[in-house]
Amino acid sequence: MDTKTQNRLDAKARIIKAMAHPTRLFIVETLAKHEHCVCELTAMIGADVSTVSKHLSILRGAGIIDDEKRGSLVYYQLKMPCVLGFFSCVDTVIKANAQGQLKCIR
């Protein structure tokens, strides 16, 4: 594997890793409906504000979401809706795994 491929895959993995966490998936799915401020997301998630803020920072760093300060609140919105298409593929994988399990039991 040459260096160029290595770098390309590193970049790709960094983006994917940004989504590889339940809380961050929740954030992406929630922002897919419409924008939310940090305080709203924090209330929905039920973790410390600093924790939520760091998750948002990771998603923003990956370029998946965007922030916009309005007054004293910071609103986040989904910048790359194409990731939702991926999520449906993941659901397909989960369903296929479950059906594979069933087949083994019978």
Partner DNA sequence: CTCCTATTTGGCAATATCGCCAAATCGCCA
Partner DNA sequence: TGGCGATTTGGCGATATTGCCAAATAGGAG
**Which residues of this chain interact with DNA, rule CB under 7 A?**
17, 20-21, 23, 37-39, 42, 47-51, 53-58, 67, 69, 71-74
Return the number of the residue (11 or 73) whose C-beta is nearest its own copies.
11
106 HSE (CA, 13 A, CB side)? 6
Give the separation between CA 81 and CA 28, rounded to whole angstroms. 9
Tell me the closest approach of the beta carbon of residue 64 to its own copies, in angstroms: 7
- Residues near its own copies, by CB under 8 A: 1, 5-6, 9-13, 15-17, 19-23, 25-26, 44-46, 62-64, 79-80, 82-83, 85-87, 89-94, 96-97, 100
